Amino acid sequence: MTSRTPAGVPILRLGNVLVTGVLDELDDRAAQAFTEELTERIAAESVHGVLIDISRLELIDSFVARTLSELTTTARLLGARVVVAGMRPAVAITLVELGLELDGVETALNAEQGMAALGWYHTPRPPAEGPR
Amino acid sequence: MSVSEAAVRERLRTVLTERDEEIADRWVHLQLEQGAFGSSISEMELRGEADALIAALRAGLESSLPVDRVVMSHADLRSAVTEFSMQRARNGAAPTVTSLAVLSLKEALLEAVQRGVQDTSELLAAALMINRLLDAAGALSFDIYVAGREEIISRQSRQLMELSTPVVRLWRHVLAVPLIGTLDTARTQVVMENLLQAIQDHEARVAIVDITGVAAVDTSVAQHLMQTVNAVRLMGADCVISGIRPAIAQTIAQLGIDLSTILTKATLADALAAAVRITDQPEVSGDETAAR
């Protein structure tokens, strides 16, 4: 059913982490459907972490911001951590100006660091990396 | 006996056509006598300006516009006066000098009219018209002068804003912004944009905002700081504020501003040490687990 799986939002499982990337601006209904599917997957697959990559989003409205906050709370109740990765500078500025500070939502600079935050160290870092 | 306006206008136009050399010479002479420019403008330049302005004045009188509106509405005349004032503003002349220069054209013009007119009532009418024309020109030149100066000022403050918010890379994954001066809404915006972009470019994990150079912190400055910190957090980096001087710390405490959610350090060195500690730890055992 298209209403259950919004187009363009695949959810992959890597070990005990669910990885998903929001590719297009979500309208309210798509955001709702996305939340529901993700919540069910968290519960069904008993994962410990969820990574949501939003580096493609150029706009986050108050509804999507609230959805992300609620999703974090929901996931925590189900025993999983949510990391939101790759927010663009312009999006961050807009959210701050709107007063939507996504309280309680963990953030990471990009997907790699987000995965590291979720304890996913499958690409070892060079031990002595000098200043670039 | 009254003299019709059209006749006076025609008279002025004739004088401007026939005696333009004479008027220009006289005007240049008068300006040199006032002697307020030093050596910044040569006689040649003055003469060039005079010829241009007199020609424009003549064109203005030839048009069908009423005398009261001719300076404002006649395109050539207006642009001649504008050019004249801008030139003076660029050369650093004072606004009064610029206005007086325009007004001294009255004297030159009136002398030229006087030589061709015997009738006193006609002379009076001509003098009044010259007054009306050139007073408007004087006022316009003052306006233009001020506008020119204001443009310079706003350009400089824009440049200052761009110059005064550098983002420097202190360490691997550590950036710093030394803030200097005041922190108003416009500055905050520029700082935030530069900082967030740099965080993305350098994959920074910690951003240090150093406020050693900020003169005073009030509630609105604190508000702007909080906004910056929150935006940095949304990007997935940590933010440290450093350089809080004792006086500022007291002010913050007295105003009851809550910065308890922000990591603050007294000096940039302390902040750098803290930042290096944060980046050296694997993130999973860092602040995020502590925060849970």
Instruction: Please give the pLDDT value at position B232.
Output: 93
For an interface test with B, the pick among A52, A96, A106 (most B C-beta atoms closer than 10 Å) comes out as A96
Instruction: Establish if B44 touches chain A: CB-CB under 8 angstroms.
Output: no
b/e per residue B175-201 (b: at least 16 CB within 10 A) = bbbbbbeebeeebbbebbbbbbebbbe
Q: The domain B168-291 is classified under which CATH number: 1.10.8.350, 3.40.50.10240, 3.40.50.2300, 3.30.750.24?
A: 3.30.750.24
Residues of chain A with Cβ-Cβ distance to B284 below 8 Å are 116-119
Mean pLDDT rounded to a whole number for chain B: 82
Domain ranges, ordered by start, for chain B: 5-158, 168-291
Q: What is the pLDDT of residue B11?
A: 81
For the segment A32-53, the average pLDDT, to the nearest whole number, is 89
More confident: B267 or B93: B267
Residue B36 has pLDDT above 90, yes or no: no
Q: By the 8 A CB rule, do A34 and A70 touch?
A: no
Q: What pLDDT is stored for residue B39 in this prediction?
A: 54
Residue type, A106: E
- The rounded distance, in Å, linking the Cα atoms of B182 and B33 is 47
Cβ contact (<8 Å) for B200 and A109? yes
Tell me the pLDDT tens digit for each residue of B152-206.
888 888 787 776 678 889 888 899 999 887 777 778 888 888 899 999 999 899 9
Distance from A118 to chain B by nearest Cα, in Å?
A: 6
Please check whether residue B189 touches A, CB under 8 A.
yes
Class (C level, CATH) for A2-117: alpha beta
Model-level pTM?
0.61
- Looking at A15-116, which runs of residues are DSSP E strands? 17-21, 49-53, 81-85, 106-108
The CATH number corresponding to B5-158 among 1.10.490, 1.10.3110, 2.50.20, 3.30.160 equals 1.10.490
Q: Rounded mean pLDDT of A35-57? A: 90
For the question of an ipTM over 0.90, the answer is no
Tell which of A76, A93, A118 to mutate to test the B interface (max B CBs under 10 Å).
A93
HSE toward the beta carbon, residue A101, CA cutoff 13 A: 11
What is the reported pLDDT for B20? Answer: 82
Partners of residue B189 in chain A, C-beta under 8 Å: 93
**Residues A64-81: tens digit of each pLDDT:** 888 889 889 999 888 899
Of A39, A49, A46, A20, which is closest to residue A119 (Cα–Cα)? Answer: A49
| Contact B170/A at CB under 8 A | no
Question: A107 and chain B: CB distance < 8 Å anywhere?
Answer: yes
| Mean pLDDT over the full length of chain A | 82
Both structure tokens of B166: 């550098």
Which residues, in sequence order, are CB contacts of B158 under 8 Å at separation 6+?
Answer: none
